[in-house]
Chains A and B, each alone.
Chain A
Amino acid sequence: MASQLSSRAFALVVVLLGVSLATFLMVHAVPGDPAFALLGDQATAEDIARVRRDLGLDRPLPEQYFRYVTRAVQGDLGTSIRTGQPVIRAIQERFPSTIYLTLAAIFLSTVSGLIVGIVAAVSRNRFVEFFVSVFPLVGLSLPTFWSGLLLITLFGLVLQWVPVVGDAGLRSLILPAIALALPTSAVVARMTRTTMLATLGEEFVRTARAKGVPRRLVIYKHALKAALIPVVTVVSLQFGALLGGAIVVESVFARPGLGRLAVEAILARDFPVVQGVVLVSAVIFVLVNFAAELVYSALDPRISKS
């Protein structure tokens, strides 16, 4: 177990270094001089020379990368070209909005996905069965930016139950969270249904039924418990999808989160900000997956062997 852990931790470090290298090279992959790309067409020769010196662009690449990583570890991600604000500050300001949205969507999608999945696995009503078997496919096919618009139209404009744009606390979190949760909810529902059906056919469930344990108890105590492990896996893998999806959903609902920050930065060619957002999101995603892996290898001892 200990050697398992250390080899996973080593892989984690390699991936994090790779992620930082990729984001570092991003700016250097822009055609032309990065300083020129940073300053735009109006820059004078002195401006460019100054920026090259300030950013250390006149140093060899490996040295630049080393500087980039040591600074990033200390929380220094450079300064925004557009506002002159430290990138880390801009990210800190926008981060809560995105993370609340992502967490709300994880909660909604897990709960609704589990319910739909269980109903789909155990229901004997044809209409219920039809609905819950169609739901995952439609949920996976609906673009979040369209379901978001539909939700705005219905609950914001027609019924006027909730504010439609911006970030005004919990009430304005509901619609974007639903839009963001739908596709993941569909994935969780499918996964739950498949594993529940598989578990319900297994010996220990049949034995429990034969012993006279009521069907309900078998379903919720035995089968559901066994089905939860793959669901944990799927939800943790979906975290990245949700974090990425939040970018689009934030745009639909005009929420001032990380995604809006990134999109605004791209349109203004504010590279340090784009770089910072990409790096921070990737690092969070990698760490969440690592944590999830630890959790489910603790839940299911079979996994740590493979």
Chain B
Amino acid sequence: MAQASIATGPEAEAHHGGEGGGAARAPAPSASGPRGNRTLRALKRRFSRPGTVLGVTLLLLLVLLALFAPAIQRHDPTAIHYQALQVGPSAEFWFGTDDLGRSVFARVLHGLRTSLLIGTASVALALVIGVPLGLLAGYGGRRLDGFILRFLEIDLAFPSILLAIAIVAVLGPGTMNTVYAIAASTVPIYALTVRSTTRSLAQREYVQAARALGASDLRIVVRHLLPGVVPPLLVITTVNVGSAVLAAAGLGYLGLGAQPPTPELGTMLSEARAYLRQAWWMSVFPGLTITALVLSMNLVGDALGDIYDVRTTSGRG
């Protein structure tokens, strides 16, 4: 059941220490008071580690490359250069060209854009569906909880790539359909995390106090429960953007993801498969880029997990 088992430590719950009224403070490092200091100190400690520095730097670099791809590229990613078919890396083509004479560098940059777009959009969609489901399940009483849990169990019964494949089979391949497919297979991760955090927060004194003072259910959920859900969500969201990028590239590799002419890293790898010996650059650069992107998300997610004391044990395949 617990595909994404989440342990919220005392730190995560301490974000709600005591105050019954305005606990809706985002757990940002800038928060003042003793608890803000603790987060700040954890942040400083974390930043002295090479892994965190590497992760943050890599992620920033890749996001900037994706954002400014049109300004950085020297060639259009779909432009065909007949005089330069499958040439190795050079000053003109930094990552070489593919079998159609297209610049691998430009295609990697734009593939990065596609990956980041699908990764963030699918996670955003899954959050929009998963968070309310989790709050309802965690705070809405036994019957509703049981009903939502069954629903999530059925969703989890499908290995996630397989569910994505089934959805693509119905909707057809394409960028947006990849987003829907990945979102559908990740909703339970968020819903279950929010559910377990909500359940433990709902037992706490400040929530009981708010209820005794006559706060409405809506107010309790929005002002008192939702903010406490943010730290664990932040951690799994970061890691899951990485997993979504992997899943999207996997669908792309199978020919079921974003369709040509959209440059897509997984599709590039499957095109490169026939030329492993002749043109190593066609597979190495897209592969390195996906790995670097996912690695940076995992490193940042790890650091966030340490700061907020949230452990994620496993994602969903």
Chains A and B belong together in one complex? yes
Find out whether the CB atom of B250 lies under 8 angstroms from the CB atom of A145: yes
What separation, in Å, do the CA atoms of A194 and B312 have in the docked complex? 11
Find out whether the CB atom of A191 lies under 8 angstroms from the CB atom of B253: no
Question: Does B25 belong to the interface (CB within 8 Å)?
Answer: no
Question: Does A244 belong to the interface (CB within 8 Å)?
Answer: yes
Report the stretch among B16-24, B79-87, B163-171 that lies at the interface.
B163-171
What separation, in Å, do the CA atoms of A262 and B103 have in the docked complex? 33
Q: A187-B314, A244-B317, A278-B166 are in contact. Are A149 and B154 (CB under 8 A)?
A: no
Scan A246-290; emit 1 where CB is below 8 A from any B CB, else 0: 011001100000000011011100010010011001100110010
Find out whether the CB atom of B253 lies under 8 angstroms from the CB atom of A251: yes
What separation, in Å, do the CA atoms of A15 and B150 have in the docked complex? 7
Question: Does B153 belong to the interface (CB within 8 Å)?
Answer: yes
Q: CB < 8 Å: which of B165, B287, B311, B316 contacts A143?
A: B287
Report the stretch among A23-31, A44-52, A169-177, A207-215 that lies at the interface.
A23-31
Find out whether the CB atom of B154 lies under 8 angstroms from the CB atom of A18: yes
Question: Does A101 belong to the interface (CB within 8 Å)?
Answer: no
State the interface size on chain B (CB cutoff 8 A): 51
Query: Shortest CB–CB separation between residue A178 and chain B, in angstroms?
Result: 16
Question: Does A205 belong to the interface (CB within 8 Å)?
Answer: no
Question: Does A295 belong to the interface (CB within 8 Å)?
Answer: no
Report the stretch among B70-78, B134-142, B290-298 that lies at the interface.
B290-298
Find out whether the CB atom of A263 lies under 8 angstroms from the CB atom of B256: yes
Report the stretch among B106-114, B203-211, B215-223, B268-276 that lies at the interface.
B268-276
Question: Does B277 belong to the interface (CB within 8 Å)?
Answer: yes
What separation, in Å, do the CA atoms of A297 and B33 have in the docked complex? 44
What separation, in Å, do the CA atoms of A274 and B157 have in the docked complex? 16
Query: Shortest CB–CB separation between residue A226 and chain B, in angstroms?
Result: 16
Question: Does A152 belong to the interface (CB within 8 Å)?
Answer: yes
Q: Which of A157, A194, A248 has the most CB of B within 10 A?
A: A248
Question: Does B124 belong to the interface (CB within 8 Å)?
Answer: no
Question: Does B31 belong to the interface (CB within 8 Å)?
Answer: no
Q: CB < 8 Å: which of A145, A153, A262, A285 contacts B165?
A: A262
Question: Does A238 belong to the interface (CB within 8 Å)?
Answer: yes
Find out whether the CB atom of B295 lies under 8 angstroms from the CB atom of A141: yes
What separation, in Å, do the CA atoms of A240 and B153 have in the docked complex? 13
What separation, in Å, do the CA atoms of A260 and B38 have in the docked complex? 52
Query: Shortest CB–CB separation between residue B201 and chain A, in angstroms?
Result: 19
Query: Shortest CB–CB separation between residue A211 and chain B, in angstroms?
Result: 32
Q: CB < 8 Å: which of B158, B242, B283, B314 contacts A149?
A: B283
Classify the secondary structure of A's interface with B.
helix
Find out whether the CB atom of B159 lies under 8 angstroms from the CB atom of A243: yes
Inside 8 A of B266's CB, which chain A residues have their CB?
143, 145
Find out whether the CB atom of A141 lies under 8 angstroms from the CB atom of B242: yes
Q: A141-B294, A286-B157 are in contact. Are A266 and B253 (CB under 8 A)?
A: no
Inside 8 A of A191's CB, which chain B residues have their CB?
313-314
Scan A1-30; emit 1 where CB is below 8 A from any B CB, else 0: 000000000010011001100110010011
Inside 8 A of A153's CB, which chain B residues have their CB?
276-277, 280, 283
Which chain A residues have a beta carbon within 8 Å of chain B's beta carbons? 11, 14-15, 18-19, 22-23, 26, 29-30, 137-138, 140-146, 149-150, 152-153, 157, 183, 187, 190-191, 194, 234, 237-238, 240-245, 247-248, 251-252, 262-263, 265-267, 271, 274, 277-278, 281-282, 285-286, 289
Ordered by A's residue number, 24 sampled pairs between the chains whose C-beta atoms are within 8 Å are A26-B169, A26-B170, A138-B291, A141-B294, A143-B246, A143-B291, A145-B250, A145-B270, A146-B290, A149-B269, A149-B283, A149-B287, A153-B280, A191-B313, A237-B314, A240-B317, A245-B317, A247-B254, A248-B250, A248-B253, A248-B254, A251-B253, A263-B255, A289-B1
Which chain B residues have a beta carbon within 8 Å of chain A's beta carbons? 1-3, 51, 150-151, 153-154, 157-163, 165-166, 168-170, 242, 246, 249-250, 253-256, 266, 269-270, 272-273, 276-277, 280, 283, 286-287, 290-291, 294-295, 298-299, 302, 311, 313-314, 316-317
New A-B pairs, 10, CB < 8 Å, besides A143-B290, A271-B169, A274-B166: A19-B154, A19-B158, A22-B154, A22-B158, A143-B291, A145-B249, A241-B317, A263-B254, A281-B158, A289-B1
